[in-house]
Structures are given as structure tokens and as C-alpha cells.
Structure 1
């Protein structure tokens, strides 16, 4: 099996390391689990390629939003240079709408948000009634949400020449035997119900099964010997490479997490890109598609 590090890390590590490093951010001790979703977008800042990460979080302390911008115009293969990052806690500090200006290399990045009328589901992301906009020198680089007219009026930005591309999503999910998520394998694609089932409690030979829209698409038996691996499945007629690492489930603590990654359109015999810049360069050159990374936390 090829090692595959987190698409959201700053350096190449094996997925087992990425899983253990996420323990502090997920905060499962004492039942105070923090729900985290990070979405990664490929965009343009004044003609330069950039990565914009948007993280939604929810915990007992409240809900929060974090926006980061990385420059990908460098020639090196490492991760992009961080231009700016803003941590916003709209519910905790009653800042449900507002803006923030940040100095970046060669200009100014403005972040606008309005979550005052946002409606939520089970996760930390708003479903409707909101907008989040990232503007670089009055040029709109990213716009999320359904309140587009309000966003354009508030930001004063010009309409973007091309829309930002949704290229990766990282999410924390929780369960004892069943782990569920909504999966959208491409930008503006169909949403699917994804279920991971694995019962490891007291079993000598546990089995891993993945279902999409209630249909089994993958099963791994003798999991104690195959706790890391990868397999190709078909979703909507397109190949999706599934990577898994359940070592922590089998040999770790009682509250530990496995990691799954679903990568669309991966070129055969091609290693996964290690960082932001490699993801986007490989996406353009090799046709790599969308990455969904799930941290599945086992709660006893």
C-alpha cells in the first residue's frame, strides 16, 4: 500500500501519524467532542494560485469559524506560504456578522461574514441563510453561502472571473460501530449517504464495510492483517480510490480514531500529493480530483 498523508498537513507524514496528531483538536476526552469540518478551495488572488481553507467547528464552548489563505505561486514542491489566517468565534463573542482585514504579501485580504440568520443541521456547517466571502483588493476570491446578493453589496467586490474549485474536505465523525457522513465527490456533484461499519469490540476477526446510499461498495475481512490498505470503488460511474488506516481502532486506546480518505480520479500508480501546492499542481497536471478525509472516532 502507498502511504498517504493528510491533505491538510504542512509536511508528508503517514496517515497513522496524521490520525494521532488530530487527537488534541478533536477533543474527545470526557465526552466533550469537538465537531470539525475543514473545506479546501483552489482560488486566485490577483492572478496567483492560492489555497483557501475554511474550518467550521462546534463544541461545548460554542461555534467558530477559521479562514486561512496560502500562496501556491512558488516554484517549490513544499506546502504553500501562509499569507494570512483569521480565527472567528461568532457565537462565543456574539459576532454573527462582520469583517476583518488582514495584510498579505502584495495586498490586503478582507474576510466578510454574516451568520446572523444561518440555519444548521447536525454538523457545524451552516446549511443556508449565510455568506462567507474572501476578497483580495476588491476582487472576490471565494464566496460561500446562499446570500450572494448581500455578499456582493457588503463587500463591494467585482464578480469573479472564475469560481473557486472545491478540492478537499476533512471531517470528524463519531460512533461506536456505525460512522455516517454526507459525501459529495466533486464540486456541485450529487450528495451521497456514506456509512462506515466496523465492530471491533471483542472480535478476533473484525470486518470493515463501507456503504454508499445503503449499497455495499467495499468490504475488508481479516482486518487485523489488513488494518491499512486501499481499494478502488465506483461512484456515479467514476473510480474513487479508498484509503483506510484502522490501526488505532484495533490496537489503540478505547477512544481512538481511524482515518479514511476517498480520492477521485487518481492516476494509476501515482502516489498521493503531500501538501497544498502538490495537490493543486497534480490536480492540474494529472487530473487528480476531490479528496474527502474522514477521522472516525470510536466512542465507547
Structure 2
């Protein structure tokens, strides 16, 4: 898939992380559900990538927090929290680990957390990462509870969300939420497809109930990009649904990228103007050009 994208002048799109095994049958929705958010946060006196991965399978439900180790990027500092519903004692807890010889604490409270089918809670929870007596990363909406429990102050260097990646499953509809623009408000995104029937295959991408893009003749336009406007802000949308149309039944997934901002038109070359969306030189590394939402859309037959 990547070579075809580069030949078409589109940015490189990363494959799903190699540590997340792909399903033998894409209809097994819960087997491969995950959401990964990559933040830039100040931990142990350095600004580092902090990755929070929510994952859910038939038997496991967990949150794994990885803190970048510059000296060994393949073996980050790791803290794993078990969210299995039958383990109520683990719904509120504290773990700590060392980052470059400094203690880092992770506080969490999921006792009242509400879920909507995704591995990540939608409300009533918090996860607080504390370093040097500061909350350097705070997830969830119970912020007052988190500060009260940790007895610490917010970090002077606010954590920045760099990238969100997720697996989503569907047949004719793929639904997700993405932070576009200021990365604070999440927008409802629906990807609808019509791949069978007497007519040519088509696809629609809607944002907050309004059709932003309609792609006709999908057999010929299975890869592409367009810029749409959301709340007066330009949003780049890239798609690659080649495998939906021509891939094997058990591994057919499309890839979508939603990225705020205009394409850089300073260069005449299309490849140059689109360069820098995602840097694949290191697994999971993110270019400093702003937030992007990467969606792996698995089609269920």
C-alpha cells in the first residue's frame, strides 16, 4: 500500500503497529479494538513522546502508557493498567516507575467511567501522570478529582496531542470522533460506502452530519485527498481504500488521515508539497507539523 501511495504523490501512511496483531477475521470486532494517542509532554525534565494505548479484546481491556527513552526508542518506559470489568479493585489505583532515574507516578480512577463500545472511556474518569510534583499529562474529564488526589499542580509545559490512531470496524458505515482545528473539540465523522450493487462504488465522508466529500467512481479514485472547511478552518482528508475493493476478504482495511491546515504550496512538486505529514523513519514517530488523526477502517462483511 505504501509504495502505491508514494507513486501517487500522497504522503506515506503508516501501517497498523506491528505489535498489534491483525485479525484473521475482520468480523471479530473486539479482538483488535485499540485507540492510540501520542502526546508531547515534559517528563523527568525532558520533553518526550508519551503514548497512551487503550486496547480491548475478548479477554483483556487495558491502558498502556509508554514514555519515550531517547537512548533506546524501541524499549520505552512502560506502565500498564488492567481495566477488566470484573476486577473492581483495579478501577482506582496508583503505579510508579522510573524515567532516567526519576520517579513518575500514574494515578487513575475508572470506578464511574462510562464506555460507548470503544476501548477508551467517554466520560467520568481520569488518568494523571505526575513527574517532578507536576501533572504532566491528564486524561479524562474528572480534572478536579485528579488534582485533589495527586496534591500536585499542573505542569507549566502543557502536554500537546500530536496524533491519534485507531481501529474502527463497520460494514457500510464507519463512525469515529476526531479533534480537528484546536484539538480540543471532537467532531463526529461518518464514512459511508456503497461498494456493491448495479452502480459504480461510491463513498461519502461526513463531518458533524454534513457531507464533506463524495467520491464517485471509487474503482478509479480509491486513493486521493481533498481539503474541506470545518468551522472556517481547512482540514486535509487523505484516503486509501484499495484493499476494500481489491484486497482479500479477511484483511480488507482502508486508511484515512484527517489533518488540520492547508497543504504547503511553496514548492511546485506535489511530493514536496505533501512531504512531512508523517515521518516513517521510526515506528510511531510524528513530524512536528501539527496534529493528525489516523483511522484504520476494517470492513466487516
Q: TM-score range by the shorter chain?
A: 0.7 to 0.9
SS at match of 2:217: coil
Match of residue 236 from structure 1: 231
How far apart are the structure 2 equivalents of 1:70 and 1:203? Answer: 51
2:28 corresponds to which of 21, 26, 31: 31
The Cα shift of 1:160 comes to: 1.2
The change in CA–CA distance for 1:25 and 1:131 in structure 2 (over 3 A counts) is farther
RMSD after superposition: 2.8
Moved segments of 4+, more than 4 Å: 19-23, 25-30, 79-82, 275-278
Cα distance in structure 2, aligned partners of 1:190 and 1:32: 27
Match in the other structure for 1:43 = 41
Gaps of 5+ in 1: 7-14, 283-287
Q: What does 1:205-284 align with in structure 2 at a 5 Å threshold?
A: 205-255=200-250, 256-268=252-264, 269-271=273-275, 272-274=277-279, 279=286, 282=288
Tell me, in whole angstroms, the C-alpha distance in 1 between the residues paired with 2:68 and 2:81.
18
Flag the 1:49–1:96 CA change in 2: closer, same or farther, 3 A.
same
Deviates more, 1:30-39 or 1:159-168: 30-39
Determine the C-alpha separation between the residues in 1 that align with 2:198 and 2:151: 60
CA distance in 2, matches of 1:165, 1:80: 20
Q: Contact conserved, 1:209 with 1:216, CA < 8 A, in 2?
A: yes
Q: Judging changes above 3 Å, is the alpha-carbon distance between structure 1 residues 107 and 261 closer, same or farther for their aligned structure 2 residues?
A: same
Whether the 8 Å contact between 1:171 and 1:294 is mirrored in structure 2 is yes
TM-score after normalising by structure 2: 0.81
Describe the SS at the equivalent of 2:244: helix
- Tell me the residue number matched to 1:96: 91
CA contact (8 A) 2:126 2:141 kept: yes
Instruction: State the SS of the aligned residue for 2:144.
Output: helix
Paired residue total: 279
Q: With structure 1 as the length reference, what TM-score do the two structures score? A: 0.81
**Which residue does the alignment assign to 2:185?**
190
Provide the secondary structure at the position in 1 that maps to 2:9: coil
Tell me what 1:112 maps to.
107
